[in-house]
Amino acid sequence: MSTAQRIAFLGLGVMGAPMAGHLARAGHRVTAYNRTVSRAQGWLDRHRGEGLDVATAATPAQAAAGQDVVITCVGNDDDLAEVVLGEAGALAAMREGALFIDHTTVSPQIARRIAEEAASRGVDALDAPVSGGQAGAENGKLAIMCGGSAQAMERARPVMQAYGARMVHIGQAGAGQATKAVNQICIAGTLAGLSEGVRFAQAAGLDMARVLEAISGGAAQSWQMENRWATMAAGEFDFGFAIDWMRKDLAIALAEARQNGFELPVTELVDGYYGKVQAEGGGRLDTSALIRHLGERSRA
C-alpha cells in the first residue's frame, strides 16, 4: 500500500464514487466534493459506516485546500473547467508542490491548458482518463492512460494503484486524452462489427452460444465479444457506459482528427448510428445497444 496522503476527490458519479472509496480503503484521507450534495452525503455516510477517514466539502476549492493530491472525475470539458479553473475551482486553492490528476475523458486541449496553469502554480498535473467502465471502477481494475511529466506520473502511480490495474505513461500533457480517443475509436468499430455479426448469426438461425464458443478463441475475439455477445443477442443493455457518454467521447475524437487534418470515416458512421439510437430514447443504454439500430435496418 502507498503512503497515506490527504486527497480531494471531485466528482462522485458511477466511476468516481467507487474510485474515491478505493482510495479511502487504501488508507488515504479522502475529502470528496460533488455538485449534487445528496450524492456526496450518501457517499460519506456509506464510507464512514466502514470506519474510513472521509469527509466532504461544499466547493472544489474547499476540498482542495491543503491537500497533497486533488483528483477529478467529472462529465466534460465545461465541468472540468468549472471545478478546476472556476471561481470556486480547485487549482487556485491547491498548495505549491501538490499533485493534480484528472480522470475525466475530455479534450487534449483542456488537458494542456490545465497543465500549463498548474505548472505556473508549482503543481504537477496528469491527464489520466480511464477505461474499464463501471465494473472496472467498482473492482479496482481500471486501465489508465496518462499524459504529463515523468515526475507527475511517478508521483501519481502509487495513488492510482488503489483502482488501476494497468497504468501507462504515454507522453506529455494531452497524450493521455488523445490515447483515450484512440480507445473509443477502436471500441466503436469493434461494436459495429460485433452488432452485425450477432444479427447475421440470428438471421442464419445459428446456435448463438456455440457460435460464440467457436469464434471467441480465434482472431475475432475481443473484450466486447466475450462480455457483450450474449447480452446483445438477448437485448440486454444495462451495463453502465451510456451511449450519451460514448457520443461525447467520439465527438472529442472527431474534433481532434479534424484539427489534425485526419479523417475517421468508420467512426463518423458509427457515431451517426449512435445518434439514431439516442434520438429514439436510447441515450442512457449501454453502448452495445448499437445493435438496436442495425436490427431495425435488417427488418426494414
DSSP assignment string, 49-114: HTT--EEE-SSHHHHHTT-SEEEE--SSHHHHHHHHHSTT-SGGGSPTT-EEEE-S---HHHHHHH
- Under 8 Å between Cβ of 71 and 9: yes
- Under 8 Å between Cβ of 48 and 31: no
Active site residue 180: yes
- Helix axis angle for 208-215 and 223-234, nearest 10°, is 170
Cell matching residue 283 = 441515450
**Environment class of 119 (CB within 10 Å of its CB; exposed 0-12, middle 13-18, buried 19+):** middle
Q: Smallest Cα–Cα separation from 57: which of 41, 73, 77, 74?
A: 41
| Beta-carbon count within 10 A of 34 CB | 25
DSSP assignment string, 2-24: PPP-EEEEE--STTHHHHHHHHH
Scanning the chain, the segments in alpha helix (DSSP H) are 16-25, 37-49, 60-64, 77-85, 108-120, 133-139, 150-160, 175-203, 208-215, 223-234, 243-259, 265-277, 290-299
Q: What is d(CA 178, CA 112) in angstroms, rounded to the nearest whole number?
A: 11
The residue annotated as part of the active site, out of 141, 180, 248, 276, is: 180
Q: What is d(CA 104, CA 84) in angstroms, rounded to the nearest whole number?
A: 12
Cell matching residue 83 = 471545478
Tell me the catalytic residues.
180
